[in-house]
Structure 1
Amino acid sequence: MSYEIWILVTGGLVGLSCGIMGCFLILRKMSMLADAISHTVLLGIVLAFLISHSLNGVYMLIGAAVAGLVTTFIVQLLSSGGIQEDAAIGVVFTSLFAVGVILLSLYAGDVHLDVEHALMGEISFIPWETISLPFIGDIPKAVVMLASIFILNLLLINLFYKEFKITSFDPSMAAAIGIPVLAIHYILMGMVSVTTVSAFDSVGAILVVAMLIAPGATAYLLTDRFKTMLLLSGAIGIFDSVIGYYGAKLFDVSISGSMAVAAGLVFLCSWMFSPKYGLLSKWMKRSYSEKSKTFLEQ
C-alpha cells in the first residue's frame, strides 16, 4: 500500500482502539485518568528500557501496562483516603510524568526517546519502520502493534462485556451480585494502558488523550444504547483521523495535532446539533415549552 494509506490506517486504528476504550472511561467519569495514564506511561517505557536495554515493543507494552496500573492504584488509594479524585489524578499524573522525564534525561538521553516525541509523536515516520510477515510482506511495526492490541481488546470486551457494562453503570449493584469490581477495574485500566502505549510512539500523548475522550464523548451525545455508543465511538475515531490527516495535508501542519483538532471540532458539532442533547435541540424544546405555556395562560 502507499505511504498515505499506511498513515491513514495507523490513525484509523488509533481512533478505533482509543475511541472504544474511551467509552468505558466516560461512563465511569474517569476521563481525566486517560490523560494521567497517557503521560505516566512514559515512566513505564523509560523503566522498561533501563531494565531491558531494548526498545522492543513487548517490553514497552509491559512497562506501560505496569505504569498504568500503578497510576490507577495510587489514584484510587489517595481517593479512598479522602482526597478528591481530580486532585489525586493531578498529583499522581504530574509527579510520575516528571520522574519519567528526569530518568529519561539522566539515563536515556542518547536513545530514540524524548519528551517532545512522547507528547506529539511522529506519525509520518510510521511507513518507514516495517517488519516482514509471512504471506503478507512488509507492514509498518506500528500497524501490527495497534492491530494486535485492538484484537486483544475486542476479545477481552467480548469475554467480560457484562462485567464491564455493569461495573461502569452501577458498581454497587455489581458488587452486590458478586462481580469482582476491583479486579474488573484493573483489567480495564490495563487495557487502557496497553492501548495508550501502542499508539504512544506513533502519534504521541496529545492525540491519544484526544482519541480516548472526544469520540466517546461525541457518541455519548448521539445515543443512549451502550453497544451503539461503542460502535459509534470507534467509527467517529476513524472519521476524526481521516479528516485530521487531510486537514494537516491541506494546511501543512502537524498530522497528530490536526487529528486532535478534528476530534474536538466533531465533538463541538455534536454538542451543538445532537438531536436529543444538543444545544440547538434544547433551545428549540425550551422555546416550544415557553410558547405552549404562554398559549395556555392566554
Structure 2
Amino acid sequence: MLAEAHVAILLTGALVGVAAAPLGLFLVLRGTAMLTDAVSHSIVLGIVIVWLLTGATSGPVQMLGAALAGVATVAVTGALQRSGLVRSDAAIGLAFPALFAAGVLLINLNARDVHLDVDSVLLGEIGFVWLDTMRIAGVEVPVSVVTLAVVAVINMAFVAAFWKELTLGSFDPALAAALGLAPGLLHQGLLVLTSVTAVASFDAVGAILFIAFAIVPSATALFLTDRPARALGLAVIVAGLAAGVGQWLAFRLDVSIGGMMAVTAGGLFVMALGLAPRRGVLARLMRRRAEAADQQARTLVAHLFTHEHGPEAATECSGAALSDHLRWPPDVAARVVLHGLDRGLIERHGEVLALTGKGRAVAQAIFDPLGHGQSGGAPGSISASSAKAP
C-alpha cells in the first residue's frame, strides 16, 4: 500500500514538511529564513565534491558533504557580515550564488555523463518516488519515505532536546549567550540539519519545494499564534494540508505536483495573512475602523460635555449641530451617534443628545486626565470643592 503512487507521493510531501518545519520555525524566528535558500543551493557544491572524491551519489557520505557545504556557506556569510563592509542580506546574496555556481561548473566539467543533474536538484520529481522502494518487514516502502522519516525524527529530536535554548536564542541571543546556552553553536546545528534535510529532499522534491516547506508553513503558523510550541504544530498541519491539497489539485489540473504543493502552501499563507484573527489584514482593518469609531465617539462626547450646560445646549447638542460644528457628513454623524448610543455614552431626549454617567466620565478623562477636579461644564471650569480662597 505504501508503494502505491498516490500514497507514496502524499507521504513524501508531508514528510518534507514534517522534517523541515522544526528547523524552519526557528530560522524564521531568528530572521534568517533566507539562509534556507542559500544552504539548499550551495550544497550542490558539496554533493559534487563528495562524488568526485568517493563516487557516491547518495547516502550518508553525500549528506555529510552537503552539511559541510552548508556550514561553509554560513561561515562565508558570517565572515562577510562581520567585516562590516556589506549588510546581512547582501552577504547571503554574495555567498550562495558563488558556491552554487562553482558546483554547477564542476558538474559541467566532470559529470557530463553521470546521473547528477542540476534540474533534479532544484525541481526533483515527486511523481516518481513510488518507483524506488525497499522492503521493510515484508512491505515495499519508498526509499524517499524512509529517508525523510528518519531525518524528520532526527530534526524533531534535536528541537525537543534543545527547545528552551533554541527558543531563548531566537528571541534574545545576547541573554542566551550570557547564560551559557551557546546560541551560535545551536544555530550552526540548525543549519547542518537544514543541509541534511535538503539533501534528503533532493531526489523526491528538489530544493524549491524544500525551501517552500521550510519557510512558508512556519511563517503561516506565526500569523496564527505567538507561542512557538503551537506554531510548530500548526506549521506541520499547514505542510500536511499543502501536500494533500496540492497533490489533489495537481492531479486535477495535470500540472507539476511539487510545484502545486508549493503554490498551495503559498495560498494557505495568503489566507492566514488576510484572515488571521489578530495579525491578519482583515483583523487590522477592523481594529482600525473600531479605533476610528471610538475616536469619533470621544469627539462627540467632548462636544456634548463642552456645551451641555451652555445657554444654547438644546441647539448645540442636537444631531444637526454635529454636521455644522464638527463638519461630519450627515451619514457619518448618524453613525457616530448610533455608536455612542450602543456604547452607553449618550442618550437621546427627543432631538437633544445628552451624556450618560459613563459618557461624562469619559469626557472628564479627556479634559482632566490627571483628575485635578474638573467635574462638568465647559473645559477649564473648576468644581466648587476644588476652588481655593485667594
Structure with greater helix percent: 1
Q: Distance in 2 between matches of 1:101 and 1:68?
A: 16
Instruction: Report whether the alignment pairs 1:113 with 2:116.
Output: yes
Counterpart for residue 195 of structure 2 = 193
Instruction: Report whether the alignment pairs 1:172 with 2:174.
Output: yes
Query: Out of 55, 72, 86, which is 2:89 matched to?
Result: 86
Alignment of 1:108-257 (within 5 A): 108-133=111-136, 135-257=137-259
Instruction: Report whether the alignment pairs 1:18 with 2:20.
Output: yes
Partner of 2:80, secondary structure, is: helix
Partner of 1:55, secondary structure, is: coil
User: Shift in Å at residue 138 of structure 1?
Assistant: 2.1
Query: Out of 99, 107, 131, which is 1:96 matched to?
Result: 99
Query: Out of 249, 274, 277, which is 2:276 matched to?
Result: 274
Q: Distance in 1 between matches of 2:70 and 2:8?
A: 28
Output the amino acid matched with 1:156. F
User: Shift in Å at residue 136 of structure 1?
Assistant: 4.3
Higher relative contact order structure (alpha carbons within 8 Å, sequence separation ≥ 6): 1
Q: Distance in 2 between matches of 1:84 and 1:144?
A: 40
Partner of 1:111, secondary structure, is: coil
Q: Distance in 2 between matches of 1:126 and 1:115?
A: 18
- CA radius of gyration, larger in: 2
User: Shift in Å at residue 32 of structure 1?
Assistant: 0.8
Alpha carbons 2:43, 2:66 under 8 Å: kept: yes
Q: Distance in 2 between matches of 1:149 and 1:51?
A: 25
Alpha carbons 2:126, 2:257 under 8 Å: kept: yes
Output the amino acid matched with 1:130. T
Q: Distance in 1 between matches of 2:218 and 2:185?
A: 23
Q: Distance in 1 between matches of 2:287 and 2:182?
A: 42
Number of residue-to-residue matches in the alignment = 297
User: Shift in Å at residue 19 of structure 1?
Assistant: 2.1
Counterpart for residue 261 of structure 1 = 263
Output the amino acid matched with 2:48. V
Counterpart for residue 334 of structure 2 = none
User: Shift in Å at residue 3 of structure 1?
Assistant: 1.4
Q: Distance in 1 between matches of 2:61 and 2:142?
A: 18
Runs of 4+ aligned structure 1 residues displaced above 6 Å come to: none
Alpha carbons 2:57, 2:116 under 8 Å: kept: no
Counterpart for residue 48 of structure 1 = 50
Alpha carbons 1:49, 1:59 under 8 Å: kept: no
Instruction: State the Cα deviation string for residues 24-68 of structure 1 (Å, max 9, x = none).
Output: 110000011111111111111111111110223212211111111
**Pair 136,26 (structure 1): closer, same or farther in 2 beyond 3 Å:** farther
Q: Distance in 2 between matches of 1:188 and 1:151?
A: 14
Percent identical pairs in the alignment equals 40
User: Shift in Å at residue 256 of structure 1?
Assistant: 0.8
**Pair 136,230 (structure 1): closer, same or farther in 2 beyond 3 Å:** farther
Output the amino acid matched with 1:121. G
Deviates more, 1:135-144 or 1:33-42: 135-144
Unaligned stretches of 5+ residues in structure 1: none
Alpha carbons 2:22, 2:155 under 8 Å: kept: no
Alpha carbons 2:148, 2:201 under 8 Å: kept: yes
Instruction: Report whether the alignment pairs 1:60 with 2:88.
Output: no
Q: Distance in 1 between matches of 2:181 and 2:295?
A: 48
Instruction: Report whether the alignment pairs 1:295 with 2:297.
Output: yes
Q: Distance in 1 between matches of 2:17 and 2:157?
A: 18
Partner of 1:15, secondary structure, is: helix
Q: Distance in 1 between matches of 2:268 and 2:15?
A: 18
Alpha carbons 2:246, 2:264 under 8 Å: kept: yes
Instruction: State the Cα deviation string for residues 144-180 of structure 1 (Å, max 9, x = none).
Output: 1100111111111121111111111110000111112
